[in-house]
Structure 1
């Protein structure tokens, strides 16, 4: 038997590839299926089942394409109602794969169909738990995503989650290995560990949600401090439930090359958003006017989902050479399939064609230090609130990037301000959005707070957020 975790850092997502004898299963696959098919061919095994822990909100699963290409059956837990052919398992139903067994444990709470899969090895020992979004390392799944679909409050869903964890999962043996669907960085939880594998026994000791004195305290603990889910989540659920266009077709359309003239014409006629995926330093030096910068060198897909939100929004891409396929692939993982093509030759081709370009006014942390000395400067910090609370520039305003569409209307276009994040990735996203909406009177700080912290700019006292959480 072989268990392999296939972890994708951008989404903080874990898919699982399990082989026994000449049969295999895949749990929660990503959108692009060819890597799985190549692996099956290399191992000379047949894919028997595709297990889905629930209808994912933060990414589009590869279950539909993978089933069509391999003939493997898709399996959901009880109460699931997909609009494609699938096996809807009963609670405690067992599926045989080679000489191992996988037992379905219905664990609602995150969503109503949420299920965990218990692996029983060749020696009839309960070996591993694939816990989906029910149990994370250090946390549990957020209980607010299914409210509209179920006509239930987040408190009611949290009560279901409590029963699932305390009655179905906690009684299992301590030596069982927990393989969750997500790790730190995912918006599906609020307090996840950076590790991606752990024993159930260790989680029983250290996971705050598994150490509550009663259901009431559990409900309060898991619902406290939940941030609003990204706007694209509901659209991804629909795609996972109804099905979607083949990834192969999405990739083919997205890799359509455009000359500067064609690119400009399509942008004007289609209402497409120009998405520039180059790093923030290159973008600052020159870009196509009205472009939005979200760099491939960071948490690209989740930020696209959070900032653009509408998965049907037409997109035109500006990339570095040979990064087009990666950009289309990562966009498709979160359901952004309406990609009209990319600019052949990238921004250099645009510049060489003599067309108009724009820049962002960016300065170093040292220049920032000099400019604000003895002045009453306005400073906007776009990091997360927890980062700001840990330490920030004195008098800076906390305006998290995730909520830019809410706070942008509060900014006075005539008043100059400085803009920073932790290292420049998020502040350049904010800068591009601000300029696309007519804001010009600001200065972005290269290197962000990481660079500012090396200067004498006055800062608040550092507060360890891990201690605050405890």
Structure 2
């Protein structure tokens, strides 16, 4: 028996490869499928099944491309209705993979079709359960995504019953392999690890410790943040289908001359710059949005960029293909090409450039007492802001910057000093502000992580929020 977790940090996503006696199964694959095909070749195995735990909302699955490449059937649990052929498994149905058995456990609640897969070893003993978004380490899947007319309270009630009857009844030594780890927006507060055991979760997971169904519903539904804008789009893509990755690559991986690039910009294409955030601040094509590949790239792209607009890329040399793949993982298929020669070529040609002035926290400390027009803009999440922030700062979470009117409160005379926790999100925010015609901005290097230790800057907490 061979089990491998393939974890993608920028999406907090886990796929799984299971092999026995030359037969293999893949659970919840990403859209770029080469890793699974490579593993199959390495293990000299045939991929027999592709299991999906549910219609994922936070990434586009690789089920269709992997099925096309391997001829393996795509398996969903009960209540899954798709725009392409699948095997709709019954609750309790068994699938053989070599000497292993994979048993379907229908666990509605996160979504109606949500299904866990119990792996039974060669001796017939339960070994591991692949829980999708039904059970995470320290959390459960949020019950407010892509579920028709059902309320989050109704779905939470279903999730409680699923956990009680299908998950908590498993032996304590069964390994829990979820679809997501820390940082995922598919739950409220996932734990730091990417796997656990049933016994550990029964001891420490608040959702499995709830005293009653009513208590469970209250705990699971309170404090839910607004889901990212791309979640329903990705869920629909996973349900209805999409273009093959090869087709996307052929369409998108095209070098564009400066003249062709400028012509497409004039036609309304959006320019996305995926270079490192610090590099971006030093110079960029005017009007570009910065989302660096070094951070939670796909998540922020899906949360901030429009899906219905043509897109052009400016990347570091050699990162064009990686950028296209990572955009495709969250459903962006409208990339029209990339700037040949990158930003260096643009600058060498004498084209206009823009930049973002960055300052260190000590300069912010010097400017605060002397500039009556200075406004500190904190783009962290509200909970981060509440735990400690610069006195009199404005909290405009990066995820809210696409909302109409979110920047209407800023005046032309104000000097905006923008920061996040470490510097990645603030550069994205500065690029959005620039695109909106707001240019009196400074990016604060090191973010709140450095600001909080700077002498001369008053830090306060929102105690009413924290309590």
1:379 to 376, 380, 404: 376
Describe the shift of the 1:128–1:314 C-alpha distance in structure 2 as closer, same or farther (beyond 3 A): same
TM-score scaled by length of structure 2: 0.96
Q: Secondary structure at the match of 1:410?
A: coil
Q: Is the 8 A contact 2:52 2:74 kept in 1?
A: yes
Structure 2 counterpart of 1:347? 343
Provide, for residues 435-454 of structure 1, a one-character-per-residue CA deviation record: whole Å limited to 9, x for no partner: 11111122221211122123
1:30-429 mapped onto 2 (5 Å cutoff): 30-147=30-147, 149=148, 151-269=149-267, 271-308=268-305, 310-373=306-369, 376=372, 377-406=374-403, 407-429=406-428
Distance 1:171 1:443 in 2: 55
Residues of 1 paired with 2:462 and 2:157: CA distance? 33
1:25/1:97 contact within 8 Å kept:
yes
Distance 2:412 2:461 in 1: 32
**TM-score, structure 1 normalization:** 0.96
Query: Contact 2:289/2:435 (CA < 8 Å) preserved in 1?
Result: yes
Deviations 1:254-285 (A, max 9, x none): 2100111111111112x111000011111111
Distance in 1 between residues matched to 2:313 and 2:255, nearest whole Å = 10
Contact 2:324 2:335 in 1 (8 A): yes
Q: Cα deviations across residues 156-184 of structure 1 (Å, max 9, x unaligned)?
A: 11111111111111111111000000011
Give the secondary structure class of the aligned counterpart of 1:168: helix
Q: Deviations over 1:269-321 (max 9, x none)?
A: 2x11100001111111111111000000000000000011x333211000000
Q: Is the 8 A contact 1:391 1:459 kept in 2?
A: no
TM-superposed deviation, 1:329: 0.8
Q: Contact 1:129 / 1:176 at 8 angstroms: preserved in 2?
A: yes
Gaps of 5+ in 2: none
Q: Which runs of 5+ in 1 are unaligned?
A: none
Q: Is 1:112–1:146's contact at 8 Å kept on the other side of the alignment?
A: no
Alignment coverage as a number of residue pairs: 464
State how far apart, in whole Å, the 2-side matches of 1:306 and 1:457 are.
Answer: 35
Is contact 1:6-1:16 (8 Å) kept? yes
Inter-CA distance 94–463: structure 2 relative to 1 (3 Å threshold): farther
Secondary structure of the equivalent of 1:408? coil
1:458 deviates by 3.0
- RMSD between aligned residues: 1.7
Q: Decide which moves more: 95-104 or 251-260.
A: 251-260
CA distance in 1, matches of 2:85, 2:45: 23
Q: 1:106 to 1:41 in 2, by over 3 A?
A: same
CA contact (8 A) 1:116 1:134 kept: yes
Q: Distance in 2 between matches of 1:180 and 1:139?
A: 10
